[in-house]
């Protein structure tokens, strides 16, 4: 061995400062601690994570922390404003709706279904879309790709909401139906974005290298393609999560969403629409909850995408 | 058309006129999130009138950043300082207001880049792209600009110049595109042409044509050329004088024949020894162990010391810039005693 | 063409050794309808060369590799040089069956690879590996160095235990001059030269007989290029490897090759030993290529009189007769009508030219 490893110093400079990458297998506790540290370095991601943590805790503890059951009516306290306004009461922190139900309690109880429906739908869409997108892109130009592309085109021609309406309309609204329908109709954007990635990845030398080694196609897709489409998938998933919340709200608005007595944010928001002029708080607070949650998910998604990319590690 | 014949004449010209470009103690750093990285430090050289000065170095040597600094095309987070950076003895390129700088760019100083396809606007016919500097700088009429453009296309060896005028970049081959780039750069007859790896992306036979073209244009227009390259072959072919850069510094400067006959700095020697040559058969190439230090971890002493076969204790101190007479310089302790001082 | 084959066979016998690889009449055509096949894109940058000026009616197919035949002997390095559009990278891809050939045969130790069913081909791949040009795109950015080098071992299940594979990986890293401490790093943490070493280690993992180096040092700095060239030579001696070394830089190809084939527009125009090629080129294109290469010292300036005019024509408007007739300095009428076959001009040299240089 005439030459010693080159650039030993350069490599260690890159690896040393942030702490990470000193050794890949440092025990899972160390990994968690390291991840947590990078999380705290990003204020947006930290806020996002806190908000989501709050959402999850709220969802789990809803029966215990909610001031009232969500459907409980207080006929003498109808349309009360939030407590800091004239006429508000600290008994109903965010005010009440037209039936005297506590807005805060309804938001607290709505978290659970809203997050579950949107979240599970995103997972269904992602699994479907990424699988189809990877296969379609890997065999771009083949018969499978052609079929998928036609389906994508067809889907682009019909607004998703219309499709969902038709399906729900014919099957009847329920929480499970809604989740599945949202999930099944949401694959298209995943498939499209992922396919575009795969088509360019496929031409990269490391994929050719794997082929020259004799790697089988399924292994190649799992080992070489899939990890490299994760950034795209995460970005699409965060967007899609937000879209799902909004679609769920829109469906509730049309009366085809989740049926009472189950409460969702979209449903509460929808109930407030008749009172926008007189009792704006009914629609505003669930709306705010949706906005904040979607933003939090996006912040977290950005961070996650960076963290999962080994090339980004040196930056933190 | 051997360059040997051109050479003495060039020298005389250099002595008569002020140099086209004088750079002294150029430093370029990039501001990062919380720190700034210095990628070019203490770089000094001059380009005489009609002279071809080659800057040679490997990646990380700072040769391209140096040329961008002179051309004024660095990203906004770059800081350029120099005790002197004069163009044609008159314009201070460090302190020039951007409006005046724009008047120089493309007119008096122009640049040719490595990748002609990405440097050309894909939606504009090449003729229009050549005519643009003429219209902007020389305020020529449309008709006059077109005439000069066709002339320029001919001078860079493009057949059927009138037809090519209305071609788009994608319709041309790599060599043709690079000719177009050179036509754009030279159409206003600049005093200085900065060519950054102008032939690296081209085929061997096309590279030879482009180099020949640049030699011809230098002879006919008297344009000085600052040639940035990693290829000692291109230097051997083109340059009058050579500046060797390593890790952001100039380690050696010499007249081209002298440099190839007697390289002084250990890095220059190693670079030459590691280049395979078709004239000789060797079992093993000399190779330089290790790699260029990164800007964030520059050693305080000589930057080549860690890879240098002749490193001494004193090399951990800042190496001196040794003048060796006849314009040759080297940044190495080995020559510290030979300093002529003259 | 039969003439050429006879000559090829005679050289085979002359060297008394069975070739490791025998390529016969290998041809690859791309149909131009629809999206242009990507695999050859790298090799066709010059394709648009004259289209703007002379839009001849282009055929709707493009012959990237046109009926080529050659042998590679065990333990030797065959250099493959040519400019864009010469088909050198496509040839490599065809031999390794990364692309399917249109016609022709590729014998590896007497077995025609192009007829092997996929399963067997996959098994055969362990004997032939590739080192790629771009050390940045040839390594999966999301895999650790250890995993990258281990992959061939896992794919071919040569070593059953994790432990065994790990040891082999560390061993390979040592062989190519990488510190085993780096095994859990990601590719982005390495310099270009180090990454190329990782790629070489991956190629070595299965103890192949043949390694195809596709522009393996073209993207590297001179001093790093020297390191990698030295490493390749050292490994060849150590493991009795056979190389097909593809390059466009003549000095590097000259340094590493025993024999060199010069390609132009999908054809081999000359194939001979390194010294005979550089000292006594027979084909005018070879001569022109040598003359175009930058000099190695300013003293040699102007020594190259014969610069090529023009550029490589587009593959879909390949000229009739000799493919080089549009740029050849010695072109005669016969060159425009009749295509010269590759024929033997001496013990070692074969060229495809009606009027070879320095040849009675």
Task: Provide DSSP, B307-325.
Answer: G-TT--GGGGSPPPEEE-S
Q: Cα separations (Å) of B267 from A247, B303, B308, C240, C258? A: 66, 10, 7, 34, 30
- pLDDT number for residue B17: 63
Half-sphere exposure of A215 (CA within 13 A, CB side): 24
Contact C130 A208 (CB under 8 A): yes
- pLDDT number for residue C149: 94
- pLDDT number for residue A297: 87
Contact B278 C297 (CB under 8 A): no
At C44, phi and psi to the nearest 5? -125, 25
Q: Is the pLDDT of residue C5 over 70?
A: no
- pLDDT number for residue C65: 92
C303 falls in which pLDDT band (50, 70, 90)?
low
Closest CA in chain A for residue B295:
A10
Which range among A56-60, C55-59, C77-81 shows the weakest confidence by mean pLDDT?
C55-59
- pLDDT number for residue C192: 85
Q: How far is B258 from chain C (nearest CA, A)?
A: 10
Among the partner-chain residues C122, C142, C230, the one whose CB lies closest to the CB of A310 is: C142
Which range among A121-135, C314-328, C334-348 shows the weakest confidence by mean pLDDT?
C314-328
Q: Is the pLDDT of residue B89 over 50?
A: yes
C-alpha B239/C-alpha B215 separation (Å) is: 10
- pLDDT number for residue B198: 87
Q: Which H or E run contains A119?
A: helix A103-138
Say which residue the tokens 């099944």 belong to.
Answer: A184
Contact B284 C230 (CB under 8 A): yes
Q: Which H or E run contains B84?
A: strand B84-87
Asked whether residue C357 is assigned to any structural domain, the reply reads no
Q: How far is C193 from chain B (nearest CA, A)?
A: 9
- pLDDT number for residue C306: 62
Asked whether residue B92 is assigned to any structural domain, the reply reads no
Rg (CA), chain A: 24
- pLDDT number for residue C32: 67
Mean local confidence (pLDDT), C2-14: 45
B297 in contact with chain A, both atoms CB, cutoff 8 A: yes
Q: How far is C125 from chain B (nearest CA, A)?
A: 30
Tokens representing C304 are: 């190259």
Mean local confidence (pLDDT), A277-283: 82
Please report the residues numbered 203 through 222 in chain C whose beta carbons come closer than 8 angstroms to any beta carbon of chain B.
221-222
Mean local confidence (pLDDT), A34-53: 81
Q: Is the pLDDT of residue C53 over 80?
A: no
Dihedral sign for Cα C187, C188, C191, C192, please.
Answer: positive
Contact A3 B289 (CB under 8 A): yes
Q: Each residue of A223-252: pLDDT tens digit?
A: 899 999 988 898 889 888 888 888 887 887
Instruction: Return mean pLDDT, chain B.
Output: 84
Per CB-CB distance under 8 Å, the chain A contacts of B297 are: 9-10, 13
Please tell me whether the interface predicted TM-score (ipTM) of this complex is above 0.95.
no
Per CB-CB distance under 8 Å, the chain A contacts of B32 are: none
C101 falls in which pLDDT band (50, 70, 90)?
very high
Q: Is the pLDDT of residue B244 over 70?
A: yes
Alpha-helical (H) ranges within chain B are 3-16, 63-71, 98-104, 116-119, 126-137, 142-155, 161-165, 174-186, 204-221, 232-238, 256-261, 266-274
Q: Is the pLDDT of residue C132 over 80?
A: yes
Instruction: Return mean pLDDT, chain A.
Output: 80
Is the whole-model pTM more than 0.95? no
- pLDDT number for residue C360: 62
Asked whether residue B77 is assigned to any structural domain, the reply reads no
Q: How many domains does chain C have?
A: 1
Contact A212 C189 (CB under 8 A): no
A13 in contact with chain B, both atoms CB, cutoff 8 A: yes
A81 falls in which pLDDT band (50, 70, 90)?
confident
Q: Can you name the residues that pair with C79 across neighbouring β-strands?
A: C245, C260
Asked whether residue B220 is assigned to any structural domain, the reply reads no
CATH code where residue C319 lies = 3.40.50.300
Q: How far is C318 from chain A (nearest CA, A)?
A: 27
Q: How many domains does chain B have?
A: 2
Q: How far is A21 from chain C (nearest CA, A)?
A: 7
Of residues B17 and B113, more confidently modeled: B113
Of residues C96 and C2, more confidently modeled: C96
Count of CB atoms situated within 10 Å of the CB of B306: 15
Of residues C45 and C267, more confidently modeled: C267
How far from the centroid of its chain's Cα atoms is residue A207's Cα?
30
Per CB-CB distance under 8 Å, the chain A contacts of C179 are: 4-5, 8
C-alpha B63/C-alpha B256 separation (Å) is: 17
Q: Each residue of C241-299: pLDDT tens digit?
A: 999 999 888 889 999 999 999 999 899 999 999 999 998 899 999 988 888 888 888 88
**Domain hosting residue B329, numbered range:** 263-338
C-alpha C80/C-alpha A108 separation (Å) is: 71
Q: Cα separations (Å) of B334 from B114, B291, B319, C115, C272? A: 36, 22, 9, 64, 46
Asked whether residue C359 is assigned to any structural domain, the reply reads no
Q: How far is C231 from chain A (nearest CA, A)?
A: 10
How far from the centroid of its chain's Cα atoms is residue A152's Cα?
21
Q: Is the pLDDT of residue C333 over 80?
A: yes
Mean local confidence (pLDDT), B209-215: 86
B133 falls in which pLDDT band (50, 70, 90)?
confident
Closest CA in chain C for residue A24:
C184
Q: Is the pLDDT of residue A42 over 70?
A: yes
Mean local confidence (pLDDT), A31-55: 81
Q: Each residue of C172-230: pLDDT tens digit?
A: 999 998 988 899 999 988 888 889 999 999 999 999 999 999 988 888 888 888 889 99
Q: Is the pLDDT of residue A17 over 50?
A: no
Tokens representing A309 are: 């990319």
Chains that touch A (3 or more CB pairs under 8 A): B, C
- pLDDT number for residue C83: 85
Asked whether residue C287 is assigned to any structural domain, the reply reads yes
C106 falls in which pLDDT band (50, 70, 90)?
very high
Per CB-CB distance under 8 Å, the chain C contacts of A234 are: none
A10 in contact with chain B, both atoms CB, cutoff 8 A: yes
Q: Is the pLDDT of residue B108 over 90?
A: no
Contact B275 C53 (CB under 8 A): no
A56 falls in which pLDDT band (50, 70, 90)?
confident
Q: How far is A300 from chain B (nearest CA, A)?
A: 22
Architecture of domain A45-315: Orthogonal Bundle (1.10)
Contact B208 C292 (CB under 8 A): yes
Asked whether residue C115 is assigned to any structural domain, the reply reads yes
Dihedral sign for Cα C106, C108, C114, C115, please.
Answer: positive
Contact B207 C49 (CB under 8 A): no
C159 in contact with chain B, both atoms CB, cutoff 8 A: no
Count of CB atoms situated within 10 Å of the CB of C231: 20
Virtual torsion, Cα B153, B158, B163, B168, nearest 10 deg: -80
Among the partner-chain residues B287, B289, B293, the one whose CB lies closest to the CB of A9 is: B293
Helix (H, G, I), strand (E, B) or coil at C11: helix
- pLDDT number for residue C242: 95
User: What is the residue extent of each domain of chain A?
Assistant: 45-315
Contact A14 C189 (CB under 8 A): yes
Q: Each residue of C78-91: pLDDT tens digit?
A: 999 988 778 898 99
Among the partner-chain residues A1, A6, A141, the one whose CB lies closest to the CB of C194 is: A6
Asked whether residue B124 is assigned to any structural domain, the reply reads yes
- pLDDT number for residue A300: 85
A9 in contact with chain B, both atoms CB, cutoff 8 A: yes
A1 in contact with chain B, both atoms CB, cutoff 8 A: no
- pLDDT number for residue A312: 58
Q: pLDDT above 70 covers what percent of chain A? A: 88
CB pairs under 8 A between A and C: 118
Contact B164 C52 (CB under 8 A): yes
C-alpha C176/C-alpha C235 separation (Å) is: 8
- pLDDT number for residue A12: 33
Mean local confidence (pLDDT), C156-177: 90
- pLDDT number for residue B338: 61
Per CB-CB distance under 8 Å, the chain A contacts of B306 are: 9
Beta strands in A227-300 (DSSP E): none
Asked whether residue B123 is assigned to any structural domain, the reply reads yes
Count of CB atoms situated within 10 Å of the CB of A303: 21
Burial of B299 from C-beta contacts in 10 A (0-12 / 13-18 / 19+): middle
Quick one: how many helices (H) and strands (E) in chain A?
Answer: 13, 0
Per CB-CB distance under 8 Å, the chain B contacts of A13 are: 294, 296-297
CB pairs under 8 A between B and C: 160
Mean local confidence (pLDDT), C312-328: 79
Q: Each residue of B305-329: pLDDT tens digit?
A: 888 888 888 888 887 878 777 778 8
Q: Is the pLDDT of residue C4 over 50?
A: no
CB pairs under 8 A between A and B: 24
Per CB-CB distance under 8 Å, the chain A contacts of B290 are: 3-4, 6-8
Say which residue the tokens 């095309």 belong to.
Answer: B73
Q: Is the pLDDT of residue B281 over 70?
A: yes
Asked whether residue C330 is assigned to any structural domain, the reply reads yes
Last residue of a domain, one of B187, B213, B248: B187
Q: Is the pLDDT of residue A86 over 50?
A: yes
- pLDDT number for residue A26: 44
Q: Each residue of A120-174: pLDDT tens digit?
A: 999 999 999 999 999 999 998 889 999 999 999 988 888 888 888 888 888 887 8
Closest CA in chain A for residue C155:
A215
Q: Is the pLDDT of residue B62 over 60?
A: yes
A315 in contact with chain C, both atoms CB, cutoff 8 A: no
- pLDDT number for residue C159: 83
**DSSP label of B105:** B
Helix (H, G, I), strand (E, B) or coil at C105: strand
Which range among A115-129, B160-174, C116-130 shows the weakest confidence by mean pLDDT?
B160-174
Per CB-CB distance under 8 Å, the chain B contacts of A15 are: none
Edge-to-edge strands, sheet with C21-31? C61-72, C21-31, C103-108, C111-112
- pLDDT number for residue C139: 92
Mean local confidence (pLDDT), B98-107: 82
Q: How far is C50 from chain B (nearest CA, A)?
A: 7
Count of CB atoms situated within 10 Å of the CB of A189: 20
């Amino acid at each position: 061995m005439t030459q010693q490893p080159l650039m030993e110093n350069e490599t260690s400079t890159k690896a040393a400062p942030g702490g990470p990458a000193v050794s890949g297998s440092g025990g899972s506790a160390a990994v968690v601690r390291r991840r947590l540290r990078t999380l705290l370095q990003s204020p947006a991601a930290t806020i996002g994570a806190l908000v989501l943590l709050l959402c999850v805790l709220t969802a789990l503890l809803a029966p215990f922390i909610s001031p009232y059951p969500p459907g409980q009516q207080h006929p003498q306290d109808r349309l009360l404003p939030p407590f800091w306004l004239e006429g508000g009461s600290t008994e109903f922190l965010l005010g009440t709706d037209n039936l005297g139900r506590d807005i805060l309690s309804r938001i607290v109880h709505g978290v659970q279904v809203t997050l579950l429906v949107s979240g599970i739908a995103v997972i269904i869409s992602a699994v479907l879309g990424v699988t189809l997108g990877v296969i379609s892109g890997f065999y771009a130009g083949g018969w499978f790709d052609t079929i998928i592309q036609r389906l994508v085109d067809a889907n682009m021609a019909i607004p998703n909401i219309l499709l969902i309406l038709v399906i729900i309309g014919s099957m009847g609204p329920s929480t499970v139906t809604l989740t599945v329908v949202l999930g099944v109709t949401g694959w298209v954007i995943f498939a499209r974005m992922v396919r575009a990635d795969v088509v360019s990845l496929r031409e990269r030398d490391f994929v050719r290298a794997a082929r020259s080694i004799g790697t089988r196609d399924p292994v190649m897709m799992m080992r070489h393609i899939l990890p490299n489409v994760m950034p795209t998938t995460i970005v699409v998933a965060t967007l899609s999560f937000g879209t799902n919340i909004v679609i769920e709200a829109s469906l509730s608005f049309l009366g085809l969403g989740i049926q009472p007595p189950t409460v969702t944010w979209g449903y509460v928001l929808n109930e407030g629409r008749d009172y926008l002029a007189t009792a704006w708080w009914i629609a505003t607070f669930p709306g705010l909850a949706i906005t904040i949650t979607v933003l939090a998910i996006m912040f977290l998604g950005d961070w996650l995408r960076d963290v999962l990319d080994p090339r980004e590690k040196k930056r933190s | 058309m051997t360059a040997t014949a051109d050479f003495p004449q060039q020298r005389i010209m250099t002595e008569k006129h002020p140099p086209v470009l004088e750079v002294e103690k150029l430093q370029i750093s990039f501001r990062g999130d919380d720190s700034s990285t210095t990628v070019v430090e203490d770089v000094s050289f001059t380009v005489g009138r009609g002279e071809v000065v080659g800057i040679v170095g490997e990646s990380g040597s700072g040769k391209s950043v140096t040329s961008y600094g002179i051309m004024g095309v660095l990203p906004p987070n770059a800081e350029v300082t120099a005790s002197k950076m004069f163009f044609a003895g008159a314009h201070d390129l460090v302190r020039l207001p951007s409006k005046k700088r724009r008047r120089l760019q493309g007119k008096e100083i122009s640049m040719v880049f490595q990748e002609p396809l990405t440097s050309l606007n894909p939606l504009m016919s090449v003729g229009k792209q050549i005519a643009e500097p003429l219209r902007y700088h020389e305020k020529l009429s449309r008709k006059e600009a077109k005439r000069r453009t066709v002339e320029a296309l001919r001078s860079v060896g493009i057949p059927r110049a009138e037809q090519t005028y209305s071609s788009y970049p994608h319709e041309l081959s790599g060599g043709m595109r690079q000719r177009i780039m050179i036509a754009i750069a030279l159409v206003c007859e600049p005093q200085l042409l900065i060519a950054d790896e102008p032939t690296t992306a081209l085929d061997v036979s096309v590279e030879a044509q482009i180099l020949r073209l640049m030699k011809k244009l230098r002879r006919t227009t008297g344009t000085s050329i600052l040639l940035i390259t990693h290829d000692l072959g291109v230097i051997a072919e083109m340059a009058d004088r050579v500046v060797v850069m390593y890790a952001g510094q100039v380690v050696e400067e010499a007249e081209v024949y002298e440099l190839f006959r007697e390289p002084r700095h250990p890095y220059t020697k190693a670079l030459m020894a590691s280049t395979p040559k078709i004239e000789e058969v060797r079992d093993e190439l000399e190779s330089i162990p290790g790699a260029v230090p990164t800007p964030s971890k520059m050693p305080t002493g000589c930057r080549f010391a860690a890879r240098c076969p002749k490193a001494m204790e004193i090399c951990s101190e800042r190496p001196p810039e040794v003048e060796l007479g006849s314009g040759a310089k080297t940044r190495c302790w080995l020559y510290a005693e030979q300093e002529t001082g003259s | 063409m039969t003439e050429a084959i006879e000559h090829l066979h005679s050289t085979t016998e002359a060297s008394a050794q069975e070739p490791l690889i025998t390529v016969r009449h290998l041809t690859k055509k791309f149909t131009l309808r629809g999206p242009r096949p990507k695999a050859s894109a790298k090799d066709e940058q010059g394709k648009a060369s004259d289209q703007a000026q002379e839009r001849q009616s282009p055929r709707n197919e493009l012959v990237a590799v046109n009926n080529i035949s050659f042998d590679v002997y065990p333990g030797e390095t065959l250099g493959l040089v040519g400019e864009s559009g010469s088909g050198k990278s496509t040839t490599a891809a065809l031999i390794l069956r990364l692309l399917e050939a249109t016609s022709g045969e590729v014998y590896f130790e007497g077995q025609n690879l192009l007829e092997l069913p996929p399963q067997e081909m996959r098994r055969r791949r362990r004997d032939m590996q590739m080192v790629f040009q771009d050390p940045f795109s040839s390594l999966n950015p999301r895999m650790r160095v250890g995993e990258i080098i281990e992959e061939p071992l896992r794919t071919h299940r040569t070593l059953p235990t994790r432990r065994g594979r790990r040891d082999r990986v560390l061993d390979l890293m040592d062989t190519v001059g990488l510190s085993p401490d780096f095994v859990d790093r990601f590719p982005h943490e390495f310099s270009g030269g180090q990454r190329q070493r990782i790629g070489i280690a991956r190629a070595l993992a299965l103890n192949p007989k043949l390694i195809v180096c596709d522009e393996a040092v073209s993207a590297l700095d001179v001093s790093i290029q020297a390191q990698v060239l030295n490493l390749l030579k050292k490994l060849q001696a150590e493991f009795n490897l056979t190389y097909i070394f593809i390059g466009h830089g003549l000095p590097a190809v000259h340094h590493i090759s025993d024999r060199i084939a010069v390609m132009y527009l999908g054809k081999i125009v000359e194939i001979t030993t390194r010294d005979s090629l550089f000292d006594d080129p027979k084909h005018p294109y070879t001569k022109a290529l040598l003359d175009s290469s930058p000099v190695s010292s300013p003293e040699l300036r102007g020594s190259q009189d014969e610069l090529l005019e023009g550029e490589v024509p587009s593959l879909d408007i390949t000229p009739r007769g000799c493919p080089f007739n549009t740029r050849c300095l010695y072109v005669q009428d016969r060159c425009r009508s009749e295509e010269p076959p590759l024929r033997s001009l001496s013990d070692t040299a074969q060229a495809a030219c009606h009027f070879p240089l320095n040849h009675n």
